[in-house]
């Protein structure tokens, strides 16, 4: 296993630079379009992470595409390949590791207050052509505390600039951060909130993870890193933040206050509409000396949020369904729409039980669940497509579950139906039990492993295309 206990973002990017996975842009760039353009092309081309040194109108450099490729995502966790990822996540998170609280922290080296706070000068990027404005909050982790039980939550929710010191806070009602706020609104109390960006990569990964309620994501970070995350108390609110963060925004979200924010180019590859959102009022900014802002362009694949939200939530979902259903071998999920489950089919109805578990017990709101047999390689879409094409009889194998809780951003539903989705399960396993019921044998696989083995034995190392 590779290294996962990065002290801070800087240690990780120094490592990326050694691997040739970081480029610096020294020229001044225009935040209205140029960061968008370069970040977009960089994602499409699986290019290195990009450090923009000089941004017109902003006081600080910014890093994009940090975990924007499979390689960098896996590198952050020190894991070699996707087929190891789910099991490795389960192994490391068997026991959660609480943070270590420190007194003095790099993230509080410099303090900005009052008139000195100007969000426009900190991050003024317009990430997509038709966004409603500047969106500093893309990889900004919102840290809140449950007013009833004190459990911390970390989540990444979009935040667009409303004024010099206020941002719209795009946490939908089904997120944990928003649920903390709903509790505060019921109590009529002001919610303290800290927002951080520029952290060791484990923080980005865990803040993107869909977990059950009442899970402190920083304890998952400690488990993934193999040692506790260092955290420090904020200066104006009772909240802990990762000590090596580049930026910390301390502030409040007041009950009953809303403002229109957005639209915004989203992870669905479509714009999300402008919305009436709660408002985050920044009352103090602390940052490291020579801080580096961290941001992301949202888009459909390939994208950074597809990896961080998709893969981390996949690992947690795998862990959950493995405990509930026998014969679960692996799980591959995209960011929120499709889950592919690989099972060792043991009984009729087993694939349907796996689907029910994904829908009922996991938190990413997967719409489509595809179940395949153990001979399918779920990390190869050709193999999945083969199963879908050859093992599915739609009237028997497609399972529709109407009116499930969905994603508010799902572009397949119109505004009036927002928040709902139809579940579709596809049993793409071979219907062996049907054949056997009638005393028949399912067709033999075209695979010929003995012939392949015999050929390798005779021709190994000097296959016709390997000859000099």
Ligand X SMILES: Cc1cc2nc3c(=O)[nH]c(=O)nc-3n(C[C@H](O)[C@H](O)[C@H](O)COP(=O)(O)O)c2cc1C
Q: Please report, as ranges, the residues that interact with ligand X according to CB under 6 A.
A: 138-139, 153, 155-158, 170-172, 175-177, 207-210, 296, 298, 305, 308-309
- Residues 196 and 19: their CA atoms lie apart, in Å, by 27
* 439 φ/ψ sector (left φ>0, alpha ψ -120 to 50, else beta): left
DSSP one-letter string for 204-250: HHHHT----TT--HHHHHHHHHTSPPEEEE-SSSS-EEETT-SEEEE
Q: Are strands 338-343 and 368-372 parallel, antiparallel or unpaired?
A: parallel
* 20 φ/ψ sector (left φ>0, alpha ψ -120 to 50, else beta): left
Contact range with Mn ion by CB under 5 A, out of 18-26, 172-180, 318-326, 397-405? 172-180
Q: How many CB atoms lie within 10 A of CB 274?
A: 14
Give strand ranges (E) for 275-366: 275-277, 279-287, 293-294, 328-333, 338-343
Nearest distance from C-beta of residue 318 to Mn ion, angstroms: 18
By three-state DSSP, how is residue 63 classified? strand
Q: Going by C-beta distance under 8 Å and a sequence separation of 6 or more, which residues neighbour residue 299?
A: 40, 43, 128, 265, 267, 269
**Residue sitting closest to ligand X (CB):** 155
* Nearest residue (CB) to ligand X, 172 versus 302: 172
Which residues make beta-bridge pairs with 153? 144
By a kind-dependent CB cut-off of 5 to 8 A, residue 139 interacts, out of ligand X, Mn ion, none, with ligand X
By three-state DSSP, how is residue 131 classified? coil
Q: 72-103: string of b/e by CB count within 10 Å (b at 16+)? A: bbbbbbbbeebeebbebbeebbeebbebeeee
Nearest distance from C-beta of residue 159 to ligand X, angstroms: 8
By a kind-dependent CB cut-off of 5 to 8 A, residue 320 interacts, out of Mn ion, ligand X, none, with none
By a kind-dependent CB cut-off of 5 to 8 A, residue 191 interacts, out of Mn ion, ligand X, none, with none
By a kind-dependent CB cut-off of 5 to 8 A, residue 197 interacts, out of Mn ion, ligand X, none, with none
Q: Taking Cα atoms as reference points, which of 98, 94, 97, 112 lies closest to residue 240?
A: 98
* Nearest residue (CB) to ligand X, 251 versus 351: 251
Residue selected from 65, 153, 161, 303 as contacting Mn ion according to rule CB under 5 A: 153
By a kind-dependent CB cut-off of 5 to 8 A, residue 161 interacts, out of ligand X, Mn ion, none, with none
* Nearest residue (CB) to Mn ion, 153 versus 166: 153
Q: Token digits for 419?
A: 């928040």
3-state helix, strand, coil in the chain (%, to 5): 30, 25, 45
By a kind-dependent CB cut-off of 5 to 8 A, residue 296 interacts, out of Mn ion, ligand X, none, with ligand X
In the chain, count H helices and then E strands: 14, 24
Nearest distance from C-beta of residue 319 to ligand X, angstroms: 15
* Nearest residue (CB) to ligand X, 297 versus 391: 297
By a kind-dependent CB cut-off of 5 to 8 A, residue 140 interacts, out of ligand X, Mn ion, none, with none
Nearest distance from C-beta of residue 375 to ligand X, angstroms: 33
Nearest distance from C-beta of residue 178 to ligand X, angstroms: 7
Q: Is 176 in the site for Mn ion (CB under 5 A)?
A: yes
By a kind-dependent CB cut-off of 5 to 8 A, residue 65 interacts, out of ligand X, Mn ion, none, with none
Q: Are strands 62-64 and 293-294 parallel, antiparallel or unpaired?
A: parallel
* Nearest residue (CB) to Mn ion, 174 versus 399: 174
Nearest distance from C-beta of residue 213 to Mn ion, angstroms: 7
By a kind-dependent CB cut-off of 5 to 8 A, residue 210 interacts, out of Mn ion, ligand X, none, with ligand X
* Nearest residue (CB) to Mn ion, 64 versus 153: 153
* Nearest residue (CB) to Mn ion, 12 versus 366: 366
Nearest distance from C-beta of residue 267 to Mn ion, angstroms: 18
**Residue sitting closest to Mn ion (CB):** 176
By three-state DSSP, how is residue 180 classified? helix
* Nearest residue (CB) to Mn ion, 51 versus 317: 317
* Nearest residue (CB) to ligand X, 159 versus 357: 159
DSSP letter at 114 equals G
Nearest distance from C-beta of residue 256 to ligand X, angstroms: 21
Nearest distance from C-beta of residue 243 to ligand X, angstroms: 21
* Nearest residue (CB) to ligand X, 135 versus 428: 135
By three-state DSSP, how is residue 53 classified? strand
DSSP letter at 159 equals B
Which residues make beta-bridge pairs with 241? 232
Contact range with Mn ion by CB under 5 A, out of 107-115, 174-182, 262-270, 273-281? 174-182
Nearest distance from C-beta of residue 215 to Mn ion, angstroms: 6
Which residues make beta-bridge pairs with 196? 141, 248
Question: Can you tell me which residue has the tokens 């109108």?
Answer: 57
Q: What does the binding site for Mn ion look like in residue numbers (CB under 5 A)?
A: 153, 176
């Amino acid at each position: 296993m590779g290294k996962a206990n990065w002290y801070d973002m800087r240690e990780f990017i120094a490592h990326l630079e050694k691997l040739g996975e970081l480029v610096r842009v020294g020229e001044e760039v225009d935040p209205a379009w140029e960061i968008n353009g370069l970040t977009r092309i960089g994602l499409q081309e699986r290019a290195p992470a990009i450090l923009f040194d000089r941004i017109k109108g902003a006081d600080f450099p910014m890093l994009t595409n940090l975990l924007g490729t499979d390689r960098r995502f896996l590198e952050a966790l020190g894991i070699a390949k996707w087929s190891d990822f789910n099991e490795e996540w389960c192994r490391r998170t068997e026991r959660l590791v609480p943070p270590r609280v420190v007194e003095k922290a790099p993230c509080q080296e410099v303090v900005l207050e009052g008139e000195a706070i100007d969000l426009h000068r900190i991050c003024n990027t317009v990430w997509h052509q038709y966004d409603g404005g500047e969106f500093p909050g893309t990889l900004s982790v919102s840290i809140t505390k449950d007013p009833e039980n004190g459990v911390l939550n970390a989540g990444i929710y979009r935040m667009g600039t409303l004024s010099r010191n206020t941002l719209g806070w795009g946490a939908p009602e089904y997120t944990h951060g928003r649920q903390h706020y709903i509790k505060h609104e019921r109590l009529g109390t002001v919610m303290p909130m800290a927002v951080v960006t520029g952290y060791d990569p484990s923080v980005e990964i865990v803040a993107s993870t869909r977990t059950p309620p009442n899970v402190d994501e920083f304890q998952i970070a400690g488990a993934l890193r193999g040692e506790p995350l260092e955290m420090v108390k904020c200066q104006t609110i009772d909240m802990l933040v990762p000590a090596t963060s580049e930026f910390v925004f301390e502030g409040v979200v007041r009950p009953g206050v809303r403002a229109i924010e957005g639209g915004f180019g989203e992870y669905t590859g479509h714009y999300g509409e402008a919305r009436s959102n709660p408002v985050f009022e920044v009352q103090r900014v602390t940052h490291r000396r020579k801080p580096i802002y961290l941001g992301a362009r949202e888009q459909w694949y390939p994208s950074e949020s597809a990896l961080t939200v998709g893969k981390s939530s996949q690992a947690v979902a795998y862990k959950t369904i493995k405990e509930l259903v026998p014969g679960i071998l692996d799980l591959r999920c995209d960011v929120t729409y499709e889950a592919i489950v690989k099972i060792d089919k043991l009984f009729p109805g087993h694939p349907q039980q796996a689907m029910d578990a994904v829908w009922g017990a996991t938190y990413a709101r997967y719409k489509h669940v595809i179940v395949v047999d153990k001979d399918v390689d779920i990390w190869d879409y050709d193999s999945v497509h083969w199963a879908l094409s050859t093992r599915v009889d739609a009237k028997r194998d497609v399972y529709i579950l109407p009116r499930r809780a969905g994603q508010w951003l799902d572009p397949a539903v119109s505004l009036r139906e927002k928040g709902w989705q139809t579940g579709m399960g596809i049993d793409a396993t071979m219907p062996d039990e049907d054949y056997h019921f009638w005393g028949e044998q399912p067709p033999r696989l075209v695979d010929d492993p003995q012939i392949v083995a015999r050929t390798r034995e005779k021709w190994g190392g000097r296959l016709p295309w390997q000859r000099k």
